[in-house]
Chain A
Amino acid sequence: MGKGKPDVLQGTLDLLILKTLAQGKQHGYGIAVHVQTVSNERLRVEEGSLYPALHRIEQDGWIRSEWGLSGNKRKAKFYEITAAGRRQLALEEKKWEHLTSAVATVLRFA
């Protein structure tokens, strides 16, 4: 569906966002913190790419957003995964496994 050439990195970010949201509603900052924590600080999501990505994925209909109050009573925009998003997540996960196993195979041969 004409999203231009999806580079691996962008695809990865989408995957990380969808995976995070698959576990529940979260705001942008929460997603960044979650990815960082779960990956034992090995992955850091750049704000400069996080928000454009969130808005783009929302346009695609994989996530939807609403305004709510955060834990400390601040107004925050919460994102939530949609059914289409879950399907997309399954697809992306499969793609990712495919890619990593393929890369791993190549590495083993080399």
Chain B
Amino acid sequence: MSWLRRLLRTVDPQPLDTALDDELRFHLEQRTDDFIAQGMSAEEARRQAALLFGNRTALRESTRDRDLLVWLDCTWQDIRYALRGMRQRPGFTAAAVLSLALGIGANTAIFTLLDQVLLRNLPVRHPEQLVQLRQTGGMVYGTTFGDDSFSYPLYRDLRDGNQVFSGVLGQFPLTLSLAFGSHTERVEGELVSGNYFDVLGVGSALGRTFTPQDDTKPGGHPLAVLAYDYWVSRFAGDPQIVGRTITVDGLPLTVVGVSQKGFEGLILGHPVCIRVPLSMKVQMTQGGFAEDFNLTNRRNYWVQVFARLKPEIARQRAQASLQPLLRSLLEMEVREKGFEKASSQNKRALLKMSLELLPAARGKSRLQEYETPLSILMAIVGVVLLIACANVANLLLARSAARQREMALRLAIGASLSRIVRQLLAECLLLSITGGAAGLLLAVWMDRLLLRFLTSSNLSPLPDLRILAFTLAVSVLTGLLFGLAPAWAARGIDLAPGLKVDHRATGSGSARFRGALVIAQVFLCVLLLVVAGQFVRSLGNLRNLNMGLSPHHVVQFAVNPSMNGYSKQQSAKFYRALLEKVRRLPDVESSGASALAVLDQDWWGPAITTDIAGPQPGDDNPNATLVSPGYFATLGIPLALGRDFTLDDANNKHGVVIVNQAFVRRYYGNLNPLGHRLALGNEPGTSTDLEIIGVVRDSRFYDVRTAIRPLIYFDNDQNPDIQQINVYLRSTADPRRLFAEIRQIVASLDTAVPPFALRTLDEQAELTLSRDRMVTMLASVFGVVAALLAAVGIYGLMAFNVARRTPEIAVRMALGANRGSVTWMVVRQVLALAGAGIALALPAAWALMGLVQSQLFGVKPHDPVSLSIAAAILAAVALLAGYLPVRRASAIEPMAALRTD
């Protein structure tokens, strides 16, 4: 580390000066002593000594400059020498830099994303104190948006009754339509409690944020705070926006301010554009069942709750101390009016609920589903980097073997070993930093590509300073790692043989080491290929899955007129007009509509009652959606029993439903379900007023991957109170040709109700596979990269071996060996290397396959097919890489080869 010491000295010359001063002072004192010994007076001796010494400062400076200059000179020389070396061997340089760029680039790209998804804290005050509340163990007696949701009264009671939090905030994410000037657009919004910004410690960039006084009277605070980025992009950073009025879902809101720059919200990967007080809930969400999720209902859970722990209170302790509070609140609730019809079973199930506090320093990640895939990818790219390192080490070893004579010569004419090692290291660092720089560019490009797979994310493909530091560290470490091996090999150079003997015959020890490196590469490569193979097969299974519906030739789009302030009646009229018009488009074979988009990870799971003793409460509720007549025919879901809805059902008081086969199996077993009855809600005494008129075959609903669950289809037309409607059209021609006409028709009805999610159903299905596609594509790309790197490694070693053994082979051939046996000799070596790597990898891969199992679909955890394919690919790659050296060996002309020696 003398480089480092010197560098430090350059920055701070003090230590050097002190040492030099000590050295010079010693000289002076010694001379003074000598003069005194010769009989001079002490004074005279000192004077004479100083006189002889001359200008001490000048001396000191010239000596120090010497130190520095020599160092700088040597360093510059090292760099120049390394650059010359790189220029002289363009093939070597390109191979090394490319290997490193791939390895380092892949690592930087994945780390850039991983860092943003998993590692970065929220830009709020003391993020480590933030927790998210989650309810577990109990059954909500009502409807819930999920286990991170609470009823508003429960949120309020927890906020006001606890002893452990310095603040508790509530929020509810929603999509809003925002009109300003002549332009209307859909934006991501959030209803937040009045203390939201205070609890987080997030300030304003302009105007003010909300205070608790802005959130007291239900419906009484038509205010909005804009997010910084949205203010910049939509309002061009106009400072006059404060006090202006914008129209949100048809409701005029006054902008009070813009929140702090850099703050996007608590849900990572989901930037919010506008925030409105929670007290406006009922006004901001109209239609459908939304009104049941209000500020007073204790049965419906929708508020997401985050809290800030008091500084001295640990998360576990806070969690324990909240349970009695929750219990007393729930016990109070079940005595209230809304719960009077609840069975004792339902009440007991509710009272089992407990609270869990999740750390939320990094917010709640919508990208959490990407955590495991990204970690797997991080491991994969780490392995790619190792393979790249092995490659470069291999290249350098081959080079240093070829350069042994040069090294020996330089040592012989007096170059110090440290000087040579230093120069080797300089070469390696220059290579790795060049590779790192190229890798950085590659990383930005790769991230841009990757981010296309992460829908609705605001991650940046650009590495920040920390990532740059990471890349630099990886580059330097890599340089040291693969640079030290050849430097170590240089250590053992024996001068005399090094100079005398032909270089081709030396270095058998390093050849063995290089063989080991290649085996390690093959080993790692097989592991990668096995994992990549598993992902490829999993994606194939997902794509070829029989979903129970035929998505080809179907186009979908959605509209939400309630966002423009439509009443229920106006919305219903809008739908009727819309469906009537699109049905008459050319090539449209059939059309249908539904309240929940299919394959869109949308979900509704109401409690129900059936007319026979079905599963007990506590079991999962069935899924449900609302569809129009023609929906099943349009999506290609075949009817198994009974009939589809008809237009007549809409005018009929008699309620009807259709269920899927999974529902029949679960609730009716072998009975014929037609004519049986069910109802929404599970209070005792609920009358079952809906008749099952049909059974459709099972089909995928939530997304491609999720298993089929019991599903009830209600009649859209019998329940006209719907917010968003999803329209499906089956076309006899290319469905994409309908896009323009659909836009035209919707615009002709109302320009302020734009269509969205306009795409083919095939595209929609593919969207839900984006995560699988991303992982599979990357794993495959990295698998190919790894195989290429390993091929280069094998080629390099074999080419080197053949060159080294040319005289030996020539002698063999001169003595009668035929070309076939020479070829076999080299091929055998290639196979031995590949075989050793593969043999070592198989048991490891067998164990590894279990680790990625959670990410796979329909692939067995231990699958010999993937193993065999990976092994076969690698064997083929090895033979291909060995082809040229083998040909060179068999083409050796014995006489010519021996004569040149």
CB neighbours of B414 from chain A (8 A)? 62, 84, 87-88, 91
CB neighbours of A98 from chain B (8 A)? none
Q: Cβ of A74 and Cβ of B23 under 8 Å apart?
A: no
Cβ of B213 under 8 Å from chain A: no
Residue of A29, A32, A76, A82 with most chain B CB atoms under a 10 A cut-off: A29
Interface flags for A68-107 (1: CB within 8 Å of B; 0: not) read 0010101111000010100110010000000000000000
Tell me how far the C-beta of B670 lies from the nearest C-beta in chain A, rounded to whole angstroms: 92
Tell me how far the C-beta of B814 lies from the nearest C-beta in chain A, rounded to whole angstroms: 42
Interface size on B, residues (CB 8 A): 34
Q: Cβ of A59 and Cβ of B67 under 8 Å apart?
A: yes
CB neighbours of A24 from chain B (8 A)? none
Q: Given contacts A59-B74, A88-B414, are A48 and B54 in contact (CB under 8 A)?
A: yes
Q: Cβ of A75 and Cβ of B66 under 8 Å apart?
A: no
Tell me how far the C-beta of B18 lies from the nearest C-beta in chain A, rounded to whole angstroms: 12
Q: Given contacts A51-B63, A75-B22, A84-B415, are A29 and B73 in contact (CB under 8 A)?
A: no
Interface residues of B in 57-71 (CB under 8 A from A): 58-59, 62-63, 66-67, 70-71
Q: Cβ of A82 and Cβ of B27 under 8 Å apart?
A: no
CB neighbours of B62 from chain A (8 A)? 48, 52
Q: Cβ of A48 and Cβ of B59 under 8 Å apart?
A: yes
CB neighbours of B418 from chain A (8 A)? 61
Docked Cα-Cα span, A2 to B29, in Å, equals: 36
CB neighbours of A91 from chain B (8 A)? 413-414
Docked Cα-Cα span, A70 to B31, in Å, equals: 13
Cβ of A19 under 8 Å from chain B: no
Tell me how far the C-beta of A76 lies from the nearest C-beta in chain B, rounded to whole angstroms: 5
Docked Cα-Cα span, A29 to B63, in Å, equals: 15
Q: Given contacts A48-B54, A61-B416, A84-B415, are A56 and B70 in contact (CB under 8 A)?
A: yes
Cβ of A34 under 8 Å from chain B: no
Q: Cβ of A82 and Cβ of B416 under 8 Å apart?
A: yes
CB neighbours of B54 from chain A (8 A)? 46-48
The closest CB in chain B to the CB of A60 belongs to: B416
Q: Given contacts A60-B416, A77-B22, are A52 and B63 in contact (CB under 8 A)?
A: yes
Q: Cβ of B30 and Cβ of A74 under 8 Å apart?
A: yes
Q: Cβ of B24 and Cβ of A51 under 8 Å apart?
A: yes
Tell me how far the C-beta of A86 lies from the nearest C-beta in chain B, rounded to whole angstroms: 10
Cβ of B33 under 8 Å from chain A: yes
Interface flags for A1-12 (1: CB within 8 Å of B; 0: not) read 110000000000
Q: Cβ of B26 and Cβ of A56 under 8 Å apart?
A: no
Docked Cα-Cα span, A2 to B412, in Å, equals: 17
Q: Cβ of B31 and Cβ of A29 under 8 Å apart?
A: yes
The closest CB in chain A to the CB of B20 belongs to: A51
Q: Cβ of A84 and Cβ of B27 under 8 Å apart?
A: no
Cβ of B235 under 8 Å from chain A: no
Cβ of B53 under 8 Å from chain A: yes
Tell me how far the C-beta of A42 lies from the nearest C-beta in chain B, rounded to whole angstroms: 17
Interface flags for B513-541 (1: CB within 8 Å of A; 0: not) read 00000000000000000000000000000
Tell me how far the C-beta of A43 lies from the nearest C-beta in chain B, rounded to whole angstroms: 15
Partner of A70, one of B30, B55, B59, B77: B30
CB neighbours of A88 from chain B (8 A)? 414
CB neighbours of A33 from chain B (8 A)? 34
Q: Cβ of A28 and Cβ of B63 under 8 Å apart?
A: no
Interface flags for A28-63 (1: CB within 8 Å of B; 0: not) read 110011000000000000111001100110011110
Interface size class of A (residues with CB under 8 A): 20 to 34
CB neighbours of B34 from chain A (8 A)? 33
Q: Given contacts A2-B77, A61-B419, A84-B416, are A75 and B27 in contact (CB under 8 A)?
A: no
CB neighbours of B58 from chain A (8 A)? 48
CB neighbours of B30 from chain A (8 A)? 29, 70, 74, 76
Cβ of B465 under 8 Å from chain A: no
The closest CB in chain A to the CB of B56 belongs to: A47
Q: Given contacts A48-B54, A60-B416, A61-B416, are A74 and B66 in contact (CB under 8 A)?
A: no
Cβ of B613 under 8 Å from chain A: no
Tell me how far the C-beta of B664 lies from the nearest C-beta in chain A, rounded to whole angstroms: 88
Q: Cβ of B26 and Cβ of A51 under 8 Å apart?
A: no
Q: Given contacts A75-B26, A87-B414, are A47 and B53 in contact (CB under 8 A)?
A: yes
Q: Given contacts A48-B58, A72-B33, are A55 and B27 in contact (CB under 8 A)?
A: no
Cβ of B896 under 8 Å from chain A: no
Q: Cβ of B67 and Cβ of A1 under 8 Å apart?
A: no
Docked Cα-Cα span, A74 to B34, in Å, equals: 14
CB neighbours of B413 from chain A (8 A)? 91
Tell me how far the C-beta of A62 lies from the nearest C-beta in chain B, rounded to whole angstroms: 8
Partner of A55, one of B33, B52, B66, B412: B66
Tell me how far the C-beta of B407 lies from the nearest C-beta in chain A, rounded to whole angstroms: 14
Docked Cα-Cα span, A2 to B19, in Å, equals: 27
Docked Cα-Cα span, A64 to B26, in Å, equals: 18
Q: Cβ of A1 and Cβ of B52 under 8 Å apart?
A: no
Docked Cα-Cα span, A46 to B66, in Å, equals: 16
Q: Cβ of B27 and Cβ of A52 under 8 Å apart?
A: no
Q: Given contacts A56-B66, A59-B70, are A51 and B416 in contact (CB under 8 A)?
A: no
CB neighbours of A56 from chain B (8 A)? 66, 70
Tell me how far the C-beta of B194 lies from the nearest C-beta in chain A, rounded to whole angstroms: 70
CB neighbours of B53 from chain A (8 A)? 47
Q: Cβ of B22 and Cβ of A47 under 8 Å apart?
A: no
CB neighbours of B73 from chain A (8 A)? 2
The closest CB in chain B to the CB of A72 belongs to: B33
CB neighbours of A1 from chain B (8 A)? 77, 415
Q: Cβ of A55 and Cβ of B67 under 8 Å apart?
A: yes
Residue of A59, A74, A88 with most chain B CB atoms under a 10 A cut-off: A59
Docked Cα-Cα span, A55 to B23, in Å, equals: 11
Partner of B27, one of A47, A59, A60: A47
Q: Cβ of A51 and Cβ of B23 under 8 Å apart?
A: yes
Q: Cβ of A47 and Cβ of B52 under 8 Å apart?
A: yes
CB neighbours of B70 from chain A (8 A)? 55-56, 59-60
Tell me how far the C-beta of A21 lies from the nearest C-beta in chain B, rounded to whole angstroms: 15
Docked Cα-Cα span, A59 to B414, in Å, equals: 13
Docked Cα-Cα span, A29 to B395, in Å, equals: 49
Point out residues on A near B: beta carbons under 8 Å: 1-2, 27-29, 32-33, 46-48, 51-52, 55-56, 59-62, 70, 72, 74-77, 82, 84, 87-88, 91
10 A-B pairs (CB sep. < 8 Å): A2-B77, A27-B23, A29-B30, A47-B27, A47-B59, A51-B59, A59-B71, A59-B74, A76-B23, A87-B412
Known A-B contacts: A47-B59, A51-B63, A60-B416. Give 12 more (CB < 8 A). A2-B73, A27-B26, A47-B27, A48-B55, A51-B24, A62-B416, A70-B26, A74-B26, A74-B29, A74-B30, A76-B26, A82-B416
Chain A to chain B: the 10 pairs with minimum beta-carbon distance, closest first:
A61-B416, A59-B70, A52-B66, A29-B30, A29-B27, A51-B63, A77-B23, A76-B26, A52-B63, A84-B416
